[in-house]
Amino acid sequence: MKVAVVSITRHGIALAGRVVAALPGAQLFAPDKFARQAEAAAPGAAHCYAGKVGDQVPALFAAFNGIVAIVSLGAVVRLIAPHLRGKELDPAVVVVDEAGRFAIPVLSGHLGGANALAGHLATALGATPVLTTASDARQTLAVDLLGRELGWTFEATHAELVRASAAVVNDEPVALVQEAGSSDWWTQHANGRSVPLPANVHCFKRLEDVDPERFAAVLWISARELPAEYASRLAGKRIIYRPGRSA
């Protein structure tokens, strides 16, 4: 992840140096009036700007896929709001308070990796990650991250992702069918889970063993094409995961 670290205060810049050190390749952005402090905090990785921090947001959104802002949460919301395009396109944004006590994912928690970035920063800074996405708060399955650490890809519309996610977190019956790929996806999933697989997720070895009408969502891990007779029965409530050759 290519990360920009943004700070607008003298004390925040000192913390920003620790953040840059914890994220290889990260770059620090600070007001030019704090140029000396910024270079001292992040030697060779400091960039200073004139004018308002809000004027830097478009360029940061275009050049980086992760932004760590040592700025108040409310201010960050106002700064980024005019530039949001969609969860598949927006960068991960994490807010860290100036005391380094909390790491708060604000934008693109799952697909963009903000939750994972917050977790990494929490470890590096001794902070508390504040994860508000339902799947992370409840330590349950995040359908848009399943197998991501193993290199899996998925096929689903936005509406299907929303429906499957809601089914998981609302304890509706979900069928998980694994016909291919590594079987250790749960312990490797979404930065690691230490709890058992949720009781509402029912596991199968073949798609043909599933009665789609019994389930609010079907998660199918397979290398084969979707059988024609299942296409209409699974319409709107299936996610297809494609493991790589060695995953």
Segments making up each domain of the chain, as ranges: 3-132, 148-242
Closest to 11 in 3D by CA, of 128, 99, 126: 99
Residues above pLDDT 90, as percent of the chain: 77
What is the pLDDT confidence band of residue 189, given thresholds at 50, 70 and 90?
Answer: low
- pLDDT tens sequence across 121-173: 999 999 999 988 877 777 788 898 898 888 899 999 989 999 999 999 999 99
Distance CA 93, CA 77 (A): 10
Q: What is the pLDDT of residue 244?
A: 78
CATH 3.40.50.11220 applies to domain 3-132 = yes
- pLDDT tens sequence across 195-217: 788 899 999 999 999 999 999 99
Distance CA 236, CA 247 (A): 27
In the sheet with 201-204, reading across from the earlier edge strand, the strands are 153-155, 238-242, 217-221, 174-178, 201-204
pTM of the predicted model as reported, rounded to 2 decimal places: 0.76
- pLDDT tens sequence across 98-107: 999 999 999 9
